[in-house]
């Protein structure tokens, strides 16, 4: 699945609501945050990525679009500490999990779990392999 239909599906699944505080982990240059901020203008948004040059590009893109986002430097495994006290209730991640080692996937999921309150949500859109089939899609877990 190409990026646009994948992230459109992710946005529909996420179903942003006015009270939401949403963090995008591995936000890259902020393309999904721009889509989200353009659709859910009320949502409080946080982006996390470990690449400072990419975060700089995200900052420029989101400022130009007039979208207010708090950007933080960090890895999946840092999410619990980075998001402590933010009140985040939904976490999204697109096209990140497939490219990190298994240990980072596990540490990232533990860290995300610790960041979310009861009833919080994790939404992941990614590529993966199941047997001989390559799957691309969105996945959703509640805390």
CA–CA dist 100, 105 (Å, integer): 6
Residue 71 DSSP one-character state: E
Per residue, the 3-state secondary structure of 77-94, as one string, reads HHHHHHCCCCCCCEEEEE
* Residue partners of 108: CB distance under 8 A and separation at least 6: 25, 75, 76, 77, 79, 97, 100
User: Cβ closer to ligand SAM: 83 or 96?
Assistant: 96
User: Cβ closer to ligand SAM: 28 or 37?
Assistant: 28
Least Å distance, CB 10 to ligand SAM, is: 9
Least Å distance, CB 83 to ligand SAM, is: 13
User: Cβ closer to ligand SAM: 9 or 104?
Assistant: 104
CA–CA dist 76, 36 (Å, integer): 20
Which positions touch ligand SAM (CB under 6 A)? 25-28, 31-32, 49-51, 54, 75-76, 94-96, 99-100, 104
User: Cβ closer to ligand SAM: 9 or 100?
Assistant: 100
Least Å distance, CB 81 to ligand SAM, is: 13
């Amino acid at each position: 699945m190409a990026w646009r239909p994948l992230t459109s599906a992710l946005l529909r699944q996420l179903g942003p609501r006015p009270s939401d505080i949403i963090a995008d982990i591995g936000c890259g240059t902020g393309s999904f945050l721009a889509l989200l901020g353009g659709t859910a203008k009320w949502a409080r948004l946080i982006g996390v990525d470990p690449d400072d040059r990419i975060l700089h590009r995200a900052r420029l893109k989101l400022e130009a679009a007039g979208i207010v986002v708090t950007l933080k430097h960090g890895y999946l495994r840092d999410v619990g500490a980075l998001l402590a006290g933010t009140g985040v209730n939904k976490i999204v991640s697109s096209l990140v999990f497939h490219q990190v080692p298994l240990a980072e996937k596990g540490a990232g999921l533990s860290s995300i779990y610790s960041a979310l309150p009861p009833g919080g949500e994790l939404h992941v859109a990614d590529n993966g392999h199941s047997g001989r089939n390559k799957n691309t899609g969105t996945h959703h877990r509640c805390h």
